[in-house]
Structure 1
């Protein structure tokens, strides 16, 4: 029997029992929806994934994009698969009815695309990045730009990218050299090179809309002098038809370890006099605008990492249930039949670890989607502001924790399957390769850790920091009067450790070398991330406990007890790691900082 892609029971649990998504239909924006329409969207996403992407999954992985000097070539099956997503209304299911979307809550939109992301991996990125590109232009562009670029992207005729990285300026955007010069007609001429641009060239759509960071000549140095431009592959005439090819050229393709269905490109702008570009908003505010797309992409990265971990877990779980091998140590009868490997304690350990990582990570990402939605549609201005504060603070964790622990889960899926996990006749080795990019792009783990400790924690007089502490304390208080009180106390102790560590390390910045103080910022991010995921697991535990109290049928009882066991695993085996990380941060450990370049 083919392995499951995802557990539909788990999706239902997270949406309706953990996050109460059904309550969202009380909001005016979602008044035309019901649980039935939510479930129908999720079922549609699954159907498209299984019909169009699952049969080509291995072929996409083994046939990387090629460039013949003129055009990019992908396997032909990719375009009809992406067209099926667009035709089903799943390219931007959270967008307005008026623009062709389903106007779903973001948390439901996330779930509706879950099977697609799990099966299609980064091939879905053509559509996901287009949605994020359109969202940015809707938020910061002019009415004319929305009509010209967003409408055809929503219709699926155009696709979009984000172009930031340069050969000499990767994460260090302050050093980018791409330049733009204003013309008499108000447009700009843009020149420069960008690399690692996902979806930067292909033949899947009529046009490609690049959002490009560049510096207007004479602008201030550093990030304060960065502007944002729309640079299309083809210019567009006043009647909306395609015009001539813009001065944008594909300089080459990068061939990736995983995620091979999504082109990674080097683009050259302005080799023949300058690419026509259109300023978004005001000059020198480009990085602020781009953060709209970057933060959306960061949640997208975390979600993709979590779903890749979940599908790897599901595959190795199904394999472990069916693969007979060996006998328990207590069985001395060599004539007895071999047992399924799921009966072996170490296999259960690896499966339980995957479950704790993957289900914790995806619940965290769904929380991010819920907060993003609350930021726009919550009933009161205070609730919307609170959601914004929490999401802004949690974004580095939502991006980083799943992208670090998702590959760890996929690594264990390979191990569960032994030699079968290491060969490409089974997809778990591909899941690992696909997932390995996620700790790198949209801000590496190290960069996210500096953002969390150096900026997000003290920002606005510690507003986001205090807000998440209050949320966690609220769950702890709720759990103290339940069967989970012991876990509530453990989380409370961990939270005290976090607060003391935070006070110590930020206090040290006044008297020590700041580079030394922040040398262990990744350990701080690990500590904070583990505490947040422990909180998410405690919330799952409370929901599972409530489900057990309702005297469920046998299958649901097994499901809820599995949730509680995964929560227990996380608290016993993962949460204690925070004390090691805390020690490194609080003591301003200098081991890495003091290592000299010449000593390597």
Structure 2
């Protein structure tokens, strides 16, 4: 079995490019060193390889189900593997030492998590959703809430979820109907239904801490009325809260992650004696500010989904690379002797094309994810100017970091199947499962089109265009350095021209003053901008590689060359469509479809 991730690539990105060792000069990370970072990464690789990867297919073939007693049943190997991860303390990576955490940089913790995501996407989700849950509560919870709910998550005893969507609302959170009614003891009673709740019920830990969006009285219509509540499966005294599993959704991929329909306050479990029925909820922060709080977890989860898509694509790439090296078939096109020996398929030009495409997608996406993770560290530990800059750049990059890997690392999985030929779509090889697992990610944490609307409708125009200006300036710094290198000057000129087109196109689509027209082709904008950003990531990697020799560095140069010659030109047609203010989608009558 091929490794699910490349240690060499991670080392290059972390140490030769991002220089994460320099973070140890900051007070928050002063107790760390390259040795502690390496130890965490080595431990992560070992547990992921020994306990997660071997049961990836098992979890796919044996979905969770609800037993006769109403409890979720998972394969024992899934539970024990997750328990091993928790015992190693890896869930505590980025948390403060006073909470029992390691106080690792986010970029190192993400690299650690990437091993588990690549080895077994479904298993990884239980713990990583819990991390996001605990991070939100650490930011906005009271000291009592942190003691009660966060510390047990960091200890590996509790798990956490986020409960946003509802059957009738989907991504339209303004239309949620879950209600929160104040009780006379300072808590609230929550009633309603939540759908698509990953890791929403299971028996792995002692408790599950749900973060639930609900509407409290007096908040007004739409998202302004939304508040955020802690609604645990079990109350602090051990009483079962009125949170009921209605059923499990049956997904095409990530099958070992439970995906649940949950009812809150339907009377399935007898609530504590009180005049107000419903599940007991504890308000986080202030009433009617819930969506702004939840964005803390949502944005973290969006980067996490981008990582998940990247790592599944990476696992498929490495599997198809290994297969191409050992599978013999056909002969060189200029070899006409039918009695000559077949050659490994990796020697065929078209197979190399498919492998280069995968390599350019997954290694470019991994670079972007780690770059954004370092921005989180700079935002947390920098001075005011650095924090402001890192936060603004992260805002602009988040929709791309979520959606570009979800689209193109899925395409990497598609190509991995193609490299395998007929074997690729059989269950005897892992690449068909990788594709199914990854197909969920263009929908997870906001569908592809939603992030196009977010990027073009919010992020690049916010604060008078400051976000786009900062992105262009930051890419420009890279272009200046690259232009001074003869081997990279042509790449720099190409990317500079396309960045200028991005700026001009952004102005053009908003010049009409018609938001519907401006946003009609927001998905094309997202995809074109994403390609430019990945081109930037490849130029950064080429600068880090410098004139170093060896197959690893030559492989970086080949993948970058592929991306600039085969992929970046695709943006021309997208920018042309955008600049034309095409109305095809707006003017199509639904009756015609």
TM range (shorter): over 0.9
C-alpha separation in 1, matches of 2:305 and 2:546: 31
Task: Kindly indicate whether residue 357 of structure 2 is the aligned counterpart of residue 353 of structure 1.
Answer: yes
User: Which residue number corresponds to residue 63 of structure 2?
Assistant: 64
C-alpha separation in 1, matches of 2:403 and 2:591: 31
Task: Kindly indicate whether residue 302 of structure 2 is the aligned counterpart of residue 309 of structure 1.
Answer: no
Q: What do the CA deviations read for 1:400-457 (whole angstroms, capped 9, x no partner)?
A: 1011111100000000011111111111111111100101021111111111111111
Secondary structure (helix, strand or coil) at the match of 1:181 reads strand
Please report the TM-score for the alignment, with normalisation by the length of structure 2: 0.97
C-alpha separation in 1, matches of 2:335 and 2:89: 55
- Measured after TM superposition, the shift of residue 97 of structure 1 is 2.6
C-alpha separation in 1, matches of 2:148 and 2:127: 18
The correspondence of residues 239-318 of structure 1 with structure 2, limited to 5 A, is 243-272=238-267, 273-318=277-322
C-alpha separation in 1, matches of 2:262 and 2:250: 15
The correspondence of residues 125-204 of structure 1 with structure 2, limited to 5 A, is 125-204=125-204
1:338 to 339, 342, 352: 342
- Measured after TM superposition, the shift of residue 219 of structure 1 is 2.3
- Measured after TM superposition, the shift of residue 331 of structure 1 is 1.1
Q: Check conservation: 2:531, 2:568, Cα contact below 8 A.
A: yes
- Measured after TM superposition, the shift of residue 99 of structure 1 is 2.5
C-alpha separation in 1, matches of 2:33 and 2:85: 22
Task: Kindly indicate whether residue 552 of structure 2 is the aligned counterpart of residue 559 of structure 1.
Answer: yes
Q: What do the CA deviations read for 1:172-230 (whole angstroms, capped 9, x no partner)?
A: 10010000110111100110000100011111111110000000133200001100000
2:587 to 564, 579, 594: 594
C-alpha separation in 2, matches of 1:519 and 1:316: 37
- Measured after TM superposition, the shift of residue 96 of structure 1 is 2.1
C-alpha separation in 1, matches of 2:56 and 2:155: 25
- Measured after TM superposition, the shift of residue 244 of structure 1 is 1.1
- Structure 2: give runs of 5+ residues left out of the alignment: 268-276
Q: What do the CA deviations read for 1:320-343 (whole angstroms, capped 9, x no partner)?
A: 011111100111222221110000
C-alpha separation in 1, matches of 2:64 and 2:566: 42
- Measured after TM superposition, the shift of residue 309 of structure 1 is 0.7
The correspondence of residues 315-464 of structure 1 with structure 2, limited to 5 A, is 315-378=319-382, 380-464=383-467
The correspondence of residues 532-571 of structure 1 with structure 2, limited to 5 A, is 532-546=533-547, 548=548, 552=549, 557-571=550-564
Secondary structure (helix, strand or coil) at the match of 2:551 reads helix
Q: Check conservation: 1:123, 1:260, Cα contact below 8 A.
A: no
Please report the TM-score for the alignment, with normalisation by the length of structure 1: 0.96
- Measured after TM superposition, the shift of residue 135 of structure 1 is 0.5
C-alpha separation in 2, matches of 1:446 and 1:66: 32
User: Which residue number corresponds to residue 476 of structure 1?
Assistant: 479
C-alpha separation in 2, matches of 1:151 and 1:3: 37
Q: Check conservation: 1:497, 1:582, Cα contact below 8 A.
A: yes
Secondary structure (helix, strand or coil) at the match of 2:442 reads coil
Secondary structure (helix, strand or coil) at the match of 1:236 reads coil
User: Which residue number corresponds to residue 85 of structure 1?
Assistant: 85
- Measured after TM superposition, the shift of residue 104 of structure 1 is 1.3
User: Which residue number corresponds to residue 504 of structure 1?
Assistant: 508
Moved over 3 A (4+): none
C-alpha separation in 2, matches of 1:4 and 1:395: 28
- Measured after TM superposition, the shift of residue 458 of structure 1 is 1.1
Q: Check conservation: 1:374, 1:387, Cα contact below 8 A.
A: yes
C-alpha separation in 1, matches of 2:239 and 2:71: 16
Q: Check conservation: 1:212, 1:230, Cα contact below 8 A.
A: yes
- Cα RMSD (Å): 1.0
The correspondence of residues 39-58 of structure 1 with structure 2, limited to 5 A, is 39-58=38-57
Q: What do the CA deviations read for 1:64-94 (whole angstroms, capped 9, x no partner)?
A: 0101351111111111111111111211312
Secondary structure (helix, strand or coil) at the match of 2:120 reads helix
C-alpha separation in 2, matches of 1:321 and 1:396: 36
C-alpha separation in 2, matches of 1:569 and 1:394: 23
- Measured after TM superposition, the shift of residue 505 of structure 1 is 0.6
Secondary structure (helix, strand or coil) at the match of 1:195 reads strand
- Measured after TM superposition, the shift of residue 33 of structure 1 is 1.4
C-alpha separation in 2, matches of 1:187 and 1:580: 55
Q: Check conservation: 1:390, 1:464, Cα contact below 8 A.
A: yes
C-alpha separation in 1, matches of 2:497 and 2:54: 49
- Measured after TM superposition, the shift of residue 384 of structure 1 is 1.3
